[in-house]
Amino acid sequence: MVTKEEIMKIAILSKLSVGDDEIDQLTEDMSEIISFADTINNAADVESDFDNINNLSNVLRDDEVVPSLDREKILRNAKDSDEGCFMVKNIMK
Amino acid sequence: MSESKIAKLHQGLADKEFSCKELTEKYIDAIEKDNEALNAYVTVTPETALVAAEKVDKKIAAGEKIGLLEGIPMTLKDNISTDGIRTTCCSKILEDYTPIYDATVWDILKKQNAVLLGKTNMDEFAMGSSCENSYFGGAKNPHNTGHVAGGSSGGVASAVGGNIAAYGLGSDTGGSIRQPASFCGIVGMKPTYGAVSRYGLIAYASSLDQIGPITTSVEDCAMVFDAIAQYDKMDSTSQGRKGAAACNTLKNDIKGMKIGIAKEYFEGIRDDVRKSVEQAIDVYRSLGAEIVEFDLPSLKYALPVYYIIACAEASSNLGRYDGIRYGYKAENYKDVNDMIKKTRSTGFGAEVKKRILLGTYVLSSGYYDAYYKKAQNLRGKIVQEFRNVFSGCDVVLAPTVPMTAFENGHAVSDPVETYQTDICTVPVNICGLPAVSVPCGFDDKGLPIGMQLIGNSFAEAKILNAAWQYENAANQFRAADFGVKL
Amino acid sequence: MKYELVAGFETHVELATNTKIFCSCTTEFGGEPNTHCCPICIGLPGTLPKLNKKVVEYAIRAGLATNCEIAEISKMDRKNYCYPDLPKAYQISQYDKPLCEHGYIQLSNGRRIRILRIHIEEDAGKLVHRRGDTLVDYNRGGVPLVEIVTEPDFRSVDEAKEYVEKLQMIMRYIGVSDCKMQEGSMRCDVNISVRPEGSEKLGTRTEIKNMNSITFIAKAMEYEYNRQVDLIESGEKVIQETLRYDDVTNTTSSMRGKEDANDYRYFRDPDLVTINVPREMVEDIRQQLPELPEDKKNRYIDELELPEADALLLTKYRRIAEYFEKAIEGTKTPKTAANFIIGQIFRSVETESEKEQFDINVSAENLNELIKLLDGGKIRMNLAKSTLDKMLETGKKASELIDESDMGGLDENALDELCRQAVDSNPKAVKDYLAGKEKAVKAMVGFVMKNSRGKADAALAEQKIIGLIKNS
């Protein structure tokens, strides 16, 4: 069972707002999914050597500089930028 | 009889039956004509395609040899980054995002002068089984446009099934290549985790995502796989193909090959689907394969395990869409935090938001142990069970989807019921195994049915060999009434 | 009632690698905003991290130099929180399997500050607020850091200051960081609580974030100690919170205002694989570690018989210690070199960074030569000192300067002897000089010049002759 309060709490963590019109349906859906997810707790814990899928280790990179990208490219997809920086405008001014 | 479309087109180009420009234009025209009905493409790139075509024609005119994939018109799912070509993940939040770098797979194909026709539709951020979670509306099934193409790589499947692309690359996190391939009556393979680089694939769930080919024949699938399965230093989990090219052993005899069947895969499967798969098993018997039965007792946990892990990773992977560096940005807000919240709340669709919340929930303090940690533990158990299975057989045969393509608008009802459609596809993602879906029949409405052949890690050559033998003996591919007529 | 201070440190140290922790962009400080960036370090969709080998090596070095155990198996985790300076909305860090654990740093009062853990992680970008707009520069985003976390073992501000200085010294010595606090390559968070003296129970703690000067750390700790004591004395409670220190007003203030408590939802980063640290690798790194400042200091005191104060000054910077050790090779007493360095050479290196660089005009070999001339009686202390000054000015070798001043071939004892002879054999000139005829000394200088076949330094000879007359 997931409560509305829990949904509101995780919404804050997720940086999502949940409208009054959405919260009931969402709580219902989430509760259903979570109780479905709960079925895994019927399984006994096992000795599991699961680490990462192919058990890889020490995939490392040499410390050699590669030239960075042009700033124009870096900023290309930003909605707002100024002085070579990404910008969040203060629109309350 | 099995027939390779890529080989046929390649031969046509090499023999100067048609020029690459002519071929490309044929496909561009077909897109223009049929995309409205199929809604497969969300971005069409005729200029890029023709530039590549011209290069290929010059090479041919100069008498140079061309590669197998050179000049073949194809498409990419819209979560594979393409430098200078918008890549949206079919989300409002990335509607006008244009990558400044190429995904490794596209870099590989571009160097081989692949002709990119455009980017194809998908469920938003690859979350869904119908393609209907796309911001641009769902792609339609070329065998019946009243039905969905499947998801999440619905656009690629629709385009390839409707022959408005010769082949395409999709991504598979819990069945997103195999399920739409099955729905559209074509071939789709999810390679072993690590065989194909994920660099540039916009992440849904990093430990499950894998790029793979969607084609009309097994041979095409092997050709594309052989080309893209390369080690990539940009992806720490990349290993490339192990062993010889899949094409080399594609047509080998499979007499004595051990094909495993687990009853758990057949629970809750629609009768006609089961029947088709059982007929395929008979075909294998007739080809001299040995059928072995075994149990996969933990398979029943695969679906919840998958959703917990996938959503947990997604909640983290999708945190970056904050409107600051790229993508949609809310316009009215109080402060930075408010801007980020508004951007995300308006930019993401309902299913994506739900999965982000679910993922945040299972990772949050107090719930981590009961959900995420437990799911990881069971993941280990399922991996172990498959490992045991492969000590006794070469490939595992199972249905790809418990049913055939849903009617448009039908998929979005009960959330858990919707998730159930992934029941046969998610286990291999959990275990990082390769699996190829091959058409094995049709239902009474004429909608395709698919089966999958699952292999041990890096055993793509083996499952493709088994798939080719079936296709050659009992080809169930039917061209749909769309696209380029060859 | 008397109250005891209890404090612990979390120190972020930027590693001096060439490239960032997960991409190949430069880590160079400064640069125009967003010019040290690539798709990976601005978190473009689809990009993946690849761990820099050097970062692992440097962290192990840091761990060994602070007496830590090095993990055999380690991994990277994601720490999820959303803030505009964090391009992926998670920081790749280490949660439950840090590379190093259970070390310590010994203080001069004999107490050990236990180090709980050292882990590697990526730095965030930088936010600038301008007229209410927020500007973001990701140049620093992805620069590798080690976070060094201590137990709450500090009992005084002095201990804290010594710890930070020592940590800085060690990190510089082993070459993993320049620890420039003013550039932010070393930053400290301090947890502080107070408790009645003699009590074992820990009080409620506050955390002062992100301080980048030892002076401010000391001031902030003093302020916070007094504030907490005042609160308790007046019957109020200390609230567990995160504070910011304002160096202008010398006060701390709450950083709250964010709407929620954090829940970082740590989980293993699926984009990165396991880090195995073979024991041979640890041993290799241990072998390559330089002698640490503490050991060096003790050796200077015990073996070189230097006073503690000298040993401390000479070992604080690795370059100075190396310089000193080269300068004393084959000389009679190390103290001579110590005096030259501390007394004269230090005048030309005033700032911390000048000392750190120790880029001076006199090479260690040249100082060594000067000391050997002195040891061999070729010159005496006064001349040695003035020669060293000239060496510092000109960068020339001691022998060269002494040649120029015509001292070459004529050692100082010989000059002294000639001067004495000049005085003894010219009683009239001596008398004239004493009577006020200053020119009379020239005759005696002439004697020295003639008898030294012009090799003697005339000015020096004159000085010496005058000295002899005055002292007789």
DSSP element (H, E) containing B29: helix B20-38
Would you kindly state where each structural domain of chain A is located, as residue ranges?
4-41
Per DSSP, the residues of B39-95 read --EEEE-HHHHHHHHHHHHHHHHTT----TTTT-EEEEETTB-BTTB---TT-GGGT
What pLDDT score was predicted for residue C361? 87
Task: Delimit the CATH 1.10.10.410 region(s) of chain C.
Answer: 412-471
- Of B19, B176, B182, B437, the active-site residue reads B176
Question: For residue C133, which residues of chain A lie inside 8 Å, CB to CB?
Answer: 82, 87-90
Q: Taking CB atoms and an 8 Å limit, are C136 and B372 in contact across chains? A: no
Q: How far apart are CA A69 and CA B235, in angstroms?
A: 19
Interval B88-117 mean pLDDT: 98
A60 vs C17, C56, C128: nearest CB = C56
Nearest Cα neighbor of B123 from B138, B109, B141 is B138
Confidence at residue C348, expressed as pLDDT on a 0 to 100 scale: 84
Does the pLDDT at position C427 exceed 90? no
Q: Which of residues 244-303 of C touch A (CB under 8 A)?
A: 259-260, 263, 265, 268, 270, 272-276
User: Between chains, do C136 and B324 touch, taking CB under 8 Å as contact?
Assistant: yes
- With bands split at pLDDT 50, 70 and 90, how would you rate the model's confidence at C62? very high
Average pLDDT over residues B71-83: 98
Structure tokens given for B31: 């897109």
Q: What number is the average pLDDT over the span B70-87?
A: 98
Where exactly are the structural domains of chain B?
Answer: 5-296+381-474
Query: Inter-chain contact A84–C137, Cβ cutoff 8 Å?
Result: yes
Contacts with C275 from chain A: Cβ below 8 Å: 57-58
Residue (of C416, C181, C89, C219) closest to B340 by Cα position: C89
* Torsions phi, psi for C115 (to 5 deg): -100, 120
Q: Please tell me if residue C90 touches chain B, with a CB cutoff of 8 Å.
A: yes
Catalytic residue list contains B485: no
pLDDT in tens, B178-228: 999 999 999 999 999 999 999 999 999 999 999 999 999 999 999 999 999
Check if C260 contacts B (Cβ < 8 Å): no
In a mutational test of the B interface, the residue from C42, C48, C96 whose CB has the highest number of chain B CBs within 10 Å is C48
C232-263 pLDDT per residue, tens: 999 999 999 899 998 888 888 888 655 456 89
Residue C207 zone, left/alpha/beta (φ > 0; ψ -120 to 50; rest): beta
pLDDT at B329 over 50: yes
Q: What is the pLDDT of residue C406?
A: 53
Nearest by CB: A86 against C82, C136, C272: C136
CA distance A69 to chain B (A): 9
Would you call C101 helix, strand, or coil by DSSP? strand
Neighbours of chain A (3+ CB pairs under 8 A): B, C
How high is the pLDDT of residue C445? 87
pLDDT of C259 reads: 46
pLDDT the model gives residue C260: 53
- Preceding amide of B4 cis, omega within 30: no
Q: Is C273's CB within 8 Å of B237's CB? A: yes
**Among C46, C267, C270, beta carbon nearest to B81:** C46
Please indicate whether residue B75 or residue C344 has the higher confidence score (pLDDT). B75
Q: How confident is the model at residue B367 (pLDDT cuts 50, 70, 90)?
A: very high
Asked whether the beta carbons of residue C25 and residue A66 sit closer than 8 angstroms, the reply is yes
Phi-psi region of B178 (alpha: psi -120 to 50; beta: other; left: phi over 0): alpha
Interface-testing mutation among B76, B196, B318, B320, with chain C (most C C-beta atoms within 10 A): B320
Put residue C133 in one of left, alpha, beta given phi > 0 → left and psi -120 to 50 → alpha.
beta
Do C133 and A89 count as a contact with CB atoms less than 8 A apart?
yes
Residue pLDDT, tens place only, C155-176 = 999 999 999 999 999 999 999 9
Q: Quick one: pLDDT at residue B427?
A: 97
Distance from CA of A3 to the nearest CA of B (A): 12
Please confirm, yes or no, whether B152 is among the known catalytic residues. Answer: yes
**CA distance linking residue B133 with residue C336, whole number of Å:** 81
Q: Pick C18's closest partner by Cβ from A9, A13, A65.
A: A65
Verify whether the Cβ–Cβ distance A68 to C82 is below 8 Å: no
pLDDT of residue C147: 98
For C41-56, the pLDDT digits (tens) are 999 999 999 999 999 9
Tell me what the mean pLDDT of segment B390-406 comes to. Answer: 96
Position A93 confidence tier, pLDDT thresholds 50, 70, 90: low
Substitution target from C135, C259, C264, C266 for chain A, most A beta carbons within 10 A: C135
C443 vs A76: which has the higher pLDDT: A76
- Over residues B309-323, mean pLDDT: 98
Per-residue model confidence (pLDDT) at position C430: 87
Whether residue C48 lies within 8 A of chain A, CB to CB, comes out as no
A90 touches chain C (CB under 8 A): yes
Of A15, A51, A71, the CB nearest to C82: A15
| Mean pLDDT computed over B417-421 | 80
| Residues in Cβ contact with C283 at an 8 Å cutoff, skipping those fewer than 6 apart | none
- Compare all CA atoms of chain B with the CA of A18 and give the residue at the minimum distance: B345
Mutation pick from A5, A6, A10 vs chain B, by most beta carbons of B within 10 Å, is A10
pLDDT range class, residue C393, cuts 50, 70, 90: confident
The token duo for C425 is 């054999």
Q: Does residue C402 register a pLDDT over 90?
A: no
- The minimum CA-CA distance between A72 and chain B, rounded to whole Å, is 10
pLDDT of residue C381: 82
Contacts of C38 in chain A (CB under 8 A): 66, 68-69, 74
Contact B200 C271 (CB under 8 A): no
Q: How many Å separate Cα B427 from the centre of its chain?
A: 15
Share of chain C above pLDDT 90, in %: 62
Which pLDDT band holds residue C66 (cuts at 50, 70, 90)?
Answer: very high
Interface residue of B236, B342, B371, B377 to substitute, partner C, most C CBs within 10 Å:
B236
Q: Is B176 a catalytic residue?
A: yes
DSSP assigned state of B130: S
Residue % of chain B over a pLDDT of 90:
96
With a threshold of 0.85, tell me whether the complex ipTM lies above it: yes
B52, B28 in Cβ contact below 8 A? no
Residue B482: pLDDT band (50, 70, 90) is: very high
Q: What is the pLDDT of residues C119-138, one digit of tens each?
A: 999 999 999 998 889 999 99
Q: Is the pLDDT of residue C446 over 90?
A: no
CA-to-CA dists, residue B450 to A57, B447, B475, C262, angstroms: 37, 10, 12, 46
Region A18-47: what's the mean pLDDT? 90
Three-state secondary-structure class, residue B84: coil
Neighbouring subunits of B (3+ Cβ pairs under 8 A): A, C
Residues of B in contact with A17 (CB under 8 A): 341-342, 345
- What would the mean pLDDT of B456-472 be, rounded to a whole number? 98
Q: What is the pLDDT of residue B447?
A: 97
Q: Which residues in A lie closer than 8 A to residue C74 (C-beta atoms)?
A: none
Task: Say whether residue C53 is in contact with chain A using an 8 A CB cutoff.
Answer: yes
User: Which among B89, B199, B364 has the least Cβ separation from residue C48?
Assistant: B199
Domain B5-296+381-474, CATH: 3.90.1300.10
Assign A49 a pLDDT band (cuts: 50, 70, 90): low
Question: Between chains, do C274 and A68 touch, taking CB under 8 Å as contact?
Answer: no
Rg from Cα positions in chain C: 30
Element (H, E) at C119: strand C112-122
Compute the distance between CA of residue B351 and CA of residue B130 in angstroms, rounded to an integer: 12
What average pLDDT is seen over chain A? Answer: 91
Q: Do the Cβ atoms of C270 and B313 come within 8 Å?
A: yes
Q: Give the pLDDT band of residue B415 (cuts 50, 70, 90).
A: confident
Answer yes or no: is pLDDT of B134 > 80.
yes
**The residue to which tokens 């002292």 are assigned:** C471
B to C CB pairs, distance under 8 Å: 100
What pLDDT score does C461 carry?
85
List the single range of A32-41, B318-327, B395-404, C44-53 with lowest mean pLDDT: A32-41
Domain boundaries C412-471, CATH class = mainly alpha
- Average pLDDT value for chain B: 96
AA letter at B436: V
